[in-house]
Structure 1
Amino acid sequence: MKTGAKPVTGFSWPESLCAPVRGLPEHSRLWVALSGGLDSNLLLHLAVHCHGGRVPVAAIHVNHQLQLNANQTEAFCLAEGQKLGVPVVVRRVSVEKAGSTPGVGGIEEAAREARYREFEAVLEPGDLLLMAHHADDQGETVLFRLLRGTGVAGLGGMPGSRPLGNGLLVRPLLGLEREVLVDCARDAGLSWVEDPSNDDQGYDRNYLRHAIMPRLKARWPGLARRLKHTANACKESDFLNHRLAEIQLNELADESGRLSVAGLHKLSLAEQKNLLRWWIRGRGFPPPALSDWARVMGDFLEAGEDREPELRSGGYSIRRFQGMLWLVRDAVDIPSSDCWLEPGQAVEWGEWRARLESASGSNPQMPCSPIRVSTRQGGESFRPRPNGPSKRLKIWMQEQGIPPWERPRIPLFFAASGDREELIAVGDFWCSEQYSGDAPAAGWRLVVERDCD
């Protein structure tokens, strides 16, 4: 992407606005999220003034195709980029309107998700995406999240920077009030396009902006500054919560990251909640929204050993087994009927994959007979050790510590042995010497792999 962006001439940009835009993290290219509004267009001009010619500067405009002036706004962004010598990438998205209503979630959330997907798609390693959120936006965010009942993490507001896709999202204007930006944009003679939906108070954020914030500012001057202090205090509290959870996780977790029930017993309810939330987030899932943590923790920590308490949430569940809490991803579907495994034809079985390989250095005298893949039907027995005693599969699984929720899903492999079938492998837990080792007796090696991600 070419450089050569053209700064606005004849205007002296205030240092109070230039300083945060100059003080960006190291980068190889700058993107500006350009909506066409006052804030984002001002940020684009600042980026060109502070960095144009040093690194490539580009803009991305996401056309949600929701407003009557959407195409007019798109054309304005393209023209503004041409005037500055800045390439503008336009991404048109379709946001589902059916069933969407103003307020929490709905069309606002759908548009935001679509927008951020496009941002992620363009960012490459070393890229920064600048967004024009300011102190008034931050104040609205804190109040909005307060009304939604969020915790200290949410009340910390929008971060000044965070990873996004392969790049980094940065909000350099977050410490400046919008009044300052408006004055600067007007003094510089900038133009912009107003989004007509910004005046619709049916949307929660617009209601806060137009009906609530002005009255709060009139009553409490310096409101944005006050809310900034609150957000910073909540960020510090959230940081300390994370540090405490990290310390306690190191003390209570085993090598696989499971949590000790006995160790959790020693913590207060507040510490238990904090640790579980951090533990769940660390595995890429959102913590559950629970109104009665005391009851839930009681189910996990106080239930008898013969019980199997479970908490289901979005994409995962928390279970207790052998004195530990396990976080279990939702299972992939397994085949509804038996499969047959043959050389050259791998079998997918839920999170397992199986294949047959000709053993190195061996020369099978005949083709490998198909191997049947199934699950437990009850009553299966096998010999875990050559010439050892036969053992019930159910008992063996219990002895191996295989969790109860996994046992019905594990693929079992059966091979013909005379006029009967013989169990030759149990998932990736055990395989007969006939089909394993450096020189399997059958001349074929059974390879079973499991996706543990």
Structure 2
Amino acid sequence: MTTGAKPVPGFAWPEALCAPVRSLPAHNRLWIAFSGGLDSTLLLHLAAYCFPGGPDLRAVHINHQLQANSAQSEQFCRQNCEALGIELQVRRVDVRAGNAEGSAGGIEEAARHARYAVFEEILQAGDLLLMAHHADDQAETVLFRMLRGTGVRGLAGMPRERALGAGRLVRPLLGFDRAQLSKWANEAGLSWVEDPSNVDERFDRNFLRHRILPELKERWPGLNARLRHTAAACAAQVALTDRLAEIQWRDCSPDGRHLCTERLSQLPLPEQKNLLRWWIRTSGFELPSIQDWGQVISDLIHAREDGEPELLGAGFAIRRFRGRLYLVPDWSEPETTNVELRPEQPLCWGNWRIRLLPVAGQKQTPPAIRVSTRQGGERFRPVPDGPGKRVKKWLQEQGIPPWERPRIPLVFSQDGEEETLIAIGDLWCSGQYSGGAPAAGWRLIVERDCD
């Protein structure tokens, strides 16, 4: 533990430091990500100073259980929050349980994912989470990403503010150097806990922090400001490319859900790539690591008509069907092919939600209802008294992509020895179970995107 003098009673924090905290966006609750280190300890005391007695000020400490002093750090955080009258949530995560050491980013990246997963879990609508990243962290991030060969988006560094779960993350200290924060923390008489992993130069970031950045700063004074300007310029460029993608999406996606390959093909390759990457990101997925985007895009657009080109990513795929590109999530599959649908008990079926509800005044017990996927040979009558049709052929006529057809729930009613198909996903439902006054006395509701 690094200890300053006894905390100075009534210490007045500089207005320049208070300003970004006092000018936070409107919020319901304010959370401080509190590790116990110098930066987050200063931020905790600063927030308590700017919002004295605020009942909606809270802190969260993530104990990764990776360091020998993790218990000491947790206890330090508890004592600080108790002294300040701030409610503290402590969450312990088991990073090694997920074989983090074998992951692409190693133990550091696994710990980060675990930490942010907790943040997303606790944040509610209207909540802000403050993190104590500062100008040295930003410089380190930009340089680290440059060395990894990142693009403009990566060189934009850490944003001052962004969405996180149901709330928002804000970094109010990005404009201050660590030396400034250290000076103020000592003047305030604060103490904090040092993380022993921060001096281990086997980690790339620590190597940059302790060996490379000091040399660069000696050679080029004001390096933090220079890299901050670079990050700001890159962030502005990212905003422009995102805006371009939004405009082109409206032109290339007539239905707002799929991309028209003919219209996409009319764009230059850099704009095609930008639009596809924007689509993936705004759909909530990580960009896949692709060496030759040009070849992938060419395959998606120009593969033969009966081809099945595909762009695969973590949790999704982009596929083509009848001149359109579809972004298809990896939906969970039903556990079985036959499930009984009980009255007034919603059934989650893959990414579908199915309900059987009584019409007002209905007292009769409905017939047995089962849900299944297509097994082959199913037939139904799209129009009462009309000709029967095979479900397989009808789905093709409706333009349903081939990868969706095996997932669509088919709903059957059993009346004695006779079984009747009464619904095909949300595409068709028998008049016996739909409309304002369903003849069966029960209304069948089939909806997509079950949580």
Q: Same fold (TM over 0.5)?
A: yes
Q: 1:28 to 1:357 in 2, by over 3 A?
A: closer
Q: Is 1:288 paired with 2:305?
A: no
CA distance in 2, matches of 1:84, 1:370: 62
CA distance in 1, matches of 2:228, 2:417: 78
2:61 aligns with 61
Give the secondary-structure state (helix, strand or coil) at the position aligned to 1:388.
coil
Structure 2 stretches of 5 or more lacking a match? 1-6
CA distance in 2, matches of 1:42, 1:346: 50
Equivalence map 1:19-418=2 (5 Å): 19-53=19-53, 57-96=57-96, 99-101=99-101, 105-341=105-341, 348-358=348-358, 368-415=366-413
Give the secondary-structure state (helix, strand or coil) at the position aligned to 2:399.
coil
Q: Cα deviation per residue 1:251-288 (whole Å; 9 max; x = unaligned)?
A: 11133421111110111111111111111222222222
TM-score by length of 2: 0.87
Higher relative contact order (CA 8 A, sep 6+): 2
CA distance in 2, matches of 1:279, 1:87: 40
TM-score by length of 1: 0.87
Contact 1:342 1:368 in 2 (8 A): no
Q: 1:398 to 1:166 in 2, by over 3 A?
A: closer
CA distance in 1, matches of 2:203, 2:284: 30
Contact 1:103 1:204 in 2 (8 A): no
Contact 1:102 1:204 in 2 (8 A): no
Q: Cα deviation per residue 1:75-115 (whole Å; 9 max; x = unaligned)?
A: 33333344445444433333326744499622212222333
CA distance in 2, matches of 1:281, 1:126: 23
CA distance in 1, matches of 2:122, 2:183: 32
Contact 1:362 1:439 in 2 (8 A): no
Q: Cα deviation per residue 1:192-242 (whole Å; 9 max; x = unaligned)?
A: 221111111111211111121112222322211111111011100100011
Deviation at 1:73, TM superposition (A): 2.3
Matched to 1:321, the amino acid is F
CA distance in 2, matches of 1:324, 1:100: 38
Contact 1:103 1:203 in 2 (8 A): no
Q: 1:82 to 1:412 in 2, by over 3 A?
A: closer
Q: 1:33 to 1:8 in 2, by over 3 A?
A: farther
Matched to 1:311, the amino acid is L
Give the secondary-structure state (helix, strand or coil) at the position aligned to 1:158.
coil
Matched to 2:161, the amino acid is S
Give the secondary-structure state (helix, strand or coil) at the position aligned to 2:36.
coil
Q: 1:446 to 1:201 in 2, by over 3 A?
A: same
Deviation at 1:369, TM superposition (A): 4.3
Computing the radius of gyration from Cα coordinates, the structure with the larger value is 1
Matched to 1:266, the amino acid is Q
Q: 267-276 vs 344-353, which deviates more?
A: 344-353
Give the secondary-structure state (helix, strand or coil) at the position aligned to 1:52.
coil
CA distance in 1, matches of 2:47, 2:355: 55
2:3 aligns with none
Give the secondary-structure state (helix, strand or coil) at the position aligned to 2:406.
helix
CA distance in 2, matches of 1:57, 1:440: 53
CA distance in 1, matches of 2:288, 2:216: 33
CA distance in 2, matches of 1:368, 1:424: 13
CA distance in 2, matches of 1:36, 1:377: 59
Q: 1:399 to 1:195 in 2, by over 3 A?
A: same
Deviation at 1:396, TM superposition (A): 1.7
CA distance in 2, matches of 1:327, 1:239: 23
Q: Cα deviation per residue 1:10-48 (whole Å; 9 max; x = unaligned)?
A: 655434323333333334554332222222222233333
Deviation at 1:171, TM superposition (A): 1.5
CA distance in 1, matches of 2:218, 2:204: 20
CA distance in 2, matches of 1:374, 1:159: 47
Q: Cα deviation per residue 1:342-375 (whole Å; 9 max; x = unaligned)?
A: 65666553333445455556776xx654345433
Q: 436-445 vs 136-145, which deviates more?
A: 436-445
Contact 1:342 1:369 in 2 (8 A): no
Matched to 2:267, the amino acid is L
Contact 2:350 2:450 in 1 (8 A): no
1:427 aligns with 425
Contact 1:359 1:438 in 2 (8 A): no
State percent identity of aligned pairs: 60
Contact 1:318 1:326 in 2 (8 A): yes
Structure 1 stretches of 5 or more lacking a match? 1-6
CA distance in 1, matches of 2:358, 2:396: 33
CA distance in 1, matches of 2:39, 2:334: 51
Give the secondary-structure state (helix, strand or coil) at the position aligned to 1:398.
helix
CA distance in 2, matches of 1:26, 1:76: 30
Deviation at 1:310, TM superposition (A): 1.9
Contact 2:367 2:415 in 1 (8 A): no
Give the secondary-structure state (helix, strand or coil) at the position aligned to 1:163.
strand
Matched to 2:145, the amino acid is R
Give the secondary-structure state (helix, strand or coil) at the position aligned to 1:90.
strand
Q: 209-218 vs 354-363, which deviates more?
A: 354-363
CA distance in 2, matches of 1:56, 1:446: 44
How large is the RMSD of aligned CA atoms in angstroms? 3.1
Q: 170-179 vs 187-196, which deviates more?
A: 187-196
Q: 1:74 to 1:373 in 2, by over 3 A?
A: closer
Give the secondary-structure state (helix, strand or coil) at the position aligned to 2:257.
coil
CA distance in 2, matches of 1:392, 1:92: 55
